Structures are given as C-alpha cells and as structure tokens.
Amino acid sequence: MTLHVSPPDTALEPAPLLSAAGVSRFYGERIGCEGVSFDLWPGEVLGIVGESGSGKSTLLRCLAGIDRPDEGEVLFRGGAEPLDIYSVPEQERRRLMRTAWGIVHQNPRDGLRMDVSAGGNVGERLMDRGDRHYGQIRERALDWLSRVEIAGARIDDRPRQFSGGMQQRLQIARVLVSEPRLVFMDEPTGGLDVSVQARLLDLLRVLVRDLGLAAIIVTHDLAVARLLTDRLMVMKDGHVVEQGLTDQVLDDPHHAYTQLLTSAVLTV
Amino acid sequence: MTTMIRVENVTKAFTLHNQGGVRLPVFDDVNFSVEAGEALVLAGASGAGKSSLLRILYGNYLPSAGHIHITHAGRPVDIVTAVPRTVLDIRRRTLGFVSQFLRVIPRVSALDIVRDPLLARGISPDQASERAKAMLARLNLPERLWNLAPATFSGGEQQRVNIARSFVDPSAIMLIDEPTASLDAANRDVVVELIAEARAKGSAIVGIFHDEAVREKVATRYLDITAFRKAA
C-alpha cells in the first residue's frame, strides 16, 4: 500500500460543488434538522458528527436527494449551471444520483444487489451510464475489485458469500467505479469489527485522496472523522452547533456539546 | 527581510463549559513577527502557553481574539479567519508542524510516510525515494525498518520518522514542539543540524525546546511568553 499523493491545490476553484441553504426537515412536531447551510468545494471532505438522533442522517438524506427537505434548497454544480436538485424532475434527480453522485450505505445490503455477482454489482453502474462493451466492463470491474482488495477469483461470487467487511468494500467499488464527483457515506465503518474498520478506513482515505473526491461522511466516531475529513459540522437536536477545520474542532472545541463529545472519547 | 509570521493582538482563554463554565486565561495581547531565516524560541515555564501559542500559529487552536498573518504564496493570509480549505492549503505548501508524536496510519511504511510530502509537492517518485532514504539514514533509523509501518516502532524511532518527514523538504515556516524529547545525543545533534540547514534555506522557525543545550544552539532570538500573562 502506497501513501496518497495530496490532491492538486483546490483553494482557487471558482465555485462550490454543493451548496445547502436553510435545509430543514420536520417529522410532525419534531425537528429532524433545521436551517443547515454550507458550501462544499471540489475535493473537500466534510464530516457530520453527533450522537444518534442528532439529525445527521436526516440531513444526509436531504443532501443526497433521497428525502425532500421541507424548507431550503440544495444546489449541485455538476456543469456550468447550478442545479436545484429538488426542483428538477424526479427522473433527472435519479440520473444525477446514478452518475455524478455515489451513496455508500451503512449496511452494504442497502447498496448492493445481493443476488447479482460481485462483477455484476460493479459493472451495473457502468451500464447505467451507458457503457456497453462487455469485455471492458468486466475488465474495469476486475480493476476495481483489486483496488478494494477483493481477489479477482471472487468476481462471479454473490455478495452474500462475502464477509461484512468484504461486502462493504464491494459497495465502495460499486459506488466509485462510475467516477462520481461527490460521495455520501452514512457510517461507512459502522457494524464492522475494529480490525476490519482500520483496513476499510485506510482504503477510503487513499481512494478519497487519490481520486480528489468530494465527500460528505456521517459518523458518530470522532477517530473516523479525524482520519478522513477536512472539515466538521457538529450536530445536536437537529442544529449545527459548531463547525470548522476538523482538527481545530476536535482539539479546541468551543461549544459545550462539542466539548462533551470530545472529552467522552477514551484514548488507547 | 521577509516577514513570514505576524502575530497581532492575540489573546487566548479556554472556557470549559462542562466544568462550571470556568474560564482559563492563557495569554493576552501577544504581538510579534518572525522573519525568514530566523529561529524564534519560545520561553516560559511549563503551563505558560508555549504549546498553545504554537498550535494557534498552525490554525489548530483558535485564539479568542487577534490575527495571525502567515505569508503564503507571497501574500499575508490571516489563518484565524481563513476557511478550512485555505488553512489546509497553507499547511500543505507553507506551514509545517513538527511534534514529538507521529500520527501512525495503519499499513503505511516509514519510507512512504517520509516520501509523502515530496510527492505532494510534485517531486518524481524515484527522486522522492532517494531523498527519503537519505534522510532516514541520516537520522540513524535502521534500514530493516524502512519498509515497515511504524506502529510497532519505539517512541524514539517513531519520533525520528516524524522528523525525517518534516525535514525532508522543509516548509517555509516550521513550527517545532519538543522534537528531541526522547532522542539520544547523536540524533539530537542531527536535529540541530537539520534546523540550521532549513534556516539557511530561508525557513522561518518557531520552536519549543526543553533541552537547554539544543535551545542555545538553535535560537537566534527568544520570546518569553510569561510577559503576556494577564495580570490577575
């Protein structure tokens, strides 16, 4: 495993890739998330942290085009013109989600087709975007399986024959093969053994940097946030209570809740 | 002379919200500048805030008030108010931090850790490897360790990997926190030489050195930060 090369200087990129403005979602009387605004720039990795029920997954679903927010808008700049993802037709939004975006679910079963071979799971995304050459698709699938450290000999096996860690790596290959510009990840290492987590984290770290991906990662694990993200938003009761550079938020937290979160971590 | 860091009216206090909101003042209204080629050594008793000041210069701690102007790509940029991606760009290209601890990343070898900043700055892989190996050899890290991940290395070995990474291509500004804490005399001398060489190439250095002999060899100027302690 080689160490990543840092991405090219993104400080002078002209426009954010994704902009959220006043994004809110309510469940009856209860606030899912409220008034969330931020810009995400190309190549930037944003972490959303907070405990269960803080609204971080609700926010992610709004940002990723899965659940329509009750208020606010989400702009995506894939081309020259920014696109309000909830004002375009459903079909257009789905096309965007298949091509320009990727979503890595916490449970690989939500992101994989369990009755389709590993190669088919990876190749399907390529066919979605219009690739038709079987040989090339299989070759790309093999390349991606090796990048996520799955032996090529397993290409025809079904995901249900894989361990949890392998399933998660396969899901990541399926998402990244179509070269999305923006990836959403919901607790990507949740539910995995610690030793498996470390390998997956290292893999994600290298891939995100090498591909210059922009990503939004929801996690309750501050160590994951520190390793993978550039910036953090800390959520509590549906609101962003603190945000900034990841190491600054974790090492010099200012909000009472962030201080509580960071002081609750046991160091080993 | 080129001013690389200009600290303007910097004040720092920690407010501990979960411990009764107690406010711990660290220092008040700090002002100083560091020029290219200088080595400013922070002095003051333990607890005076030397490390806090160094972390503020790096953008790791946020001051309660004031500004830090870092000369980045020829222009002053206030790292206190800069957005995260600008801070990261400043760190990648201008501002290095050398601590006594290596943040170990699973599965990455010592050689790759040292090579990384060279590759990030566009140096060819072959040349980067050559320079990284030369630096590890200079810091007397046994060659059999170069291709291993440092997780199992001793404290002193990890520290030398960290120093090699920091000095293989010195940044225009180097912030150094106790780099020689667990090194033997021979390796301490290598670190002193590396700092002098970086300075000769024009790096501006701000450092904390516990070891008095090292401090005296390195410093071109001292700043006693106890002077900025707020009168209680």
CATH code of residue B32: 3.40.50.300
Report the number of distinct structural domains present in chain B: 1
Q: Let me know if residue A122 belongs to a domain.
A: yes
Parallel/antiparallel/unpaired status of strands B65-72 and B221-224? unpaired
- The per-residue pLDDT for B65 is 97
Give the pLDDT mean for B99-116: 84
- The per-residue pLDDT for B108 is 85
Q: Let me know if residue B152 belongs to a domain.
A: no
Whole domain around residue A137: which residue ranges? 112-179
Q: Let me know if residue A147 belongs to a domain.
A: yes
Q: Let me know if residue A175 belongs to a domain.
A: yes
Provide, as residue numbers in chain B, all residues whose Cβ is less than 8 Å from the Cβ of A245.
59, 84, 87-88
Q: Let me know if residue A219 belongs to a domain.
A: no
- The per-residue pLDDT for A6 is 44
- The per-residue pLDDT for A267 is 59
Enumerate chain B positions whose Cβ falls within 8 A of a Cβ in A: 14-18, 55, 59-62, 84-89, 92-93, 105-108, 112-113, 115-116, 119-120
Q: Let me know if residue B101 belongs to a domain.
A: no
Q: Let me know if residue A17 belongs to a domain.
A: no
Q: Let me know if residue B200 belongs to a domain.
A: yes
Of residues A227 and B62, more confidently modeled: B62
- The per-residue pLDDT for A13 is 54
Q: Which two tokens stand for residue A137?
A: 């698709």
Please state, in angstroms and rounded to a whole number, the distance separating the CA atoms of residues A212 and B207.
33
Q: Do B116 and A247 touch (CB under 8 A)?
A: no
In this prediction the ipTM stands at 0.91
pLDDT at B15 over 90: yes
Please state, in angstroms and rounded to a whole number, the distance separating the CA atoms of residues B94 and A180.
31
Q: What distance in Å separates residue A250's CA from the closest CA in chain B?
A: 9
Q: What distance in Å separates residue A164's CA from the closest CA in chain B?
A: 20
Placement of tokens 């990876």 in the chain: A122
Q: Let me know if residue B150 belongs to a domain.
A: no
pLDDT band at residue B151 under the 50/70/90 scheme: confident
- The per-residue pLDDT for A204 is 83
Query: What crossing angle do the helices spanning B125-138 and B110-120 adopt, rounded to 10°?
Result: 130
- The per-residue pLDDT for B170 is 95
Please state, in angstroms and rounded to a whole number, the distance separating the CA atoms of residues A194 and A212.
26
Q: Let me know if residue A155 belongs to a domain.
A: yes
Q: Can you spell out the DSSP letters for chain A?
A: -PPPPPPPP-TT-SS-SEEEEEEEEEETTEEEEEEEEEEE-TT-EEEEE--TTSSHHHHHHHHTTSS--SEEEEEE-SSSS-EETTTS-HHHHHHHHHHTEEEE-SSHHHHS-TTS-HHHHHHHHHHHTT---HHHHHHHHHHHHHHTT--GGGTTS-GGGS-HHHHHHHHHHHHHTT--SEEEEESTTTTS-HHHHHHHHHHHHHHHHHHT-EEEEEES-HHHHHHH-SEEEEEETTEEEEEEEHHHHHHS--SHHHHHHHHTPPP-
Whole domain around residue B64: which residue ranges? 3-94+171-228
Percent share of chain B, pLDDT over 70: 98
Report the number of distinct structural domains present in chain A: 1
Provide, as residue numbers in chain A, all residues whose Cβ is less than 8 Å from the Cβ of B102.
none
pLDDT at B54 over 90: yes
**A:B CB pairs within 8 Å:** 75
Provide, as residue numbers in chain B, all residues whose Cβ is less than 8 Å from the Cβ of A263.
18
Provide, as residue numbers in chain A, all residues whose Cβ is less than 8 Å from the Cβ of B115.
3
- The per-residue pLDDT for A196 is 77
Q: Let me know if residue A129 belongs to a domain.
A: yes
Provide, as residue numbers in chain B, all residues whose Cβ is less than 8 Å from the Cβ of A254.
15, 62
Give the pLDDT mean for B192-201: 96
Q: Let me know if residue A140 belongs to a domain.
A: yes
Placement of tokens 């975007």 in the chain: A129
pLDDT at B105 over 80: no
Q: Do B119 and A260 touch (CB under 8 A)?
A: no
Given a contact cutoff of 8 angstroms between Cβ atoms, the answer to whether B39 and B218 are in contact is: yes
Q: Do B88 and A247 touch (CB under 8 A)?
A: no
Average pLDDT score over chain B: 93
Q: What's the average pLDDT block by block, 10 residues per block, for chain A (268 residues)? A: 45 79 95 96 94 93 94 89 90 85 92 95 89 92 92 95 92 91 90 77 80 91 90 97 97 94 73
N- to C-terminal Cα separation, chain B = 38
pLDDT band at residue B231 under the 50/70/90 scheme: low
- The per-residue pLDDT for B70 is 98
Q: Let me know if residue B187 belongs to a domain.
A: yes
User: Using CA atoms in the order A219, A226, A181, A168, what is the torsion angle rounded to 10 degrees?
Assistant: -50
- The per-residue pLDDT for A94 is 86
Given a contact cutoff of 8 angstroms between Cβ atoms, the answer to whether B165 and B121 are in contact is: no
Placement of tokens 């560091």 in the chain: B34
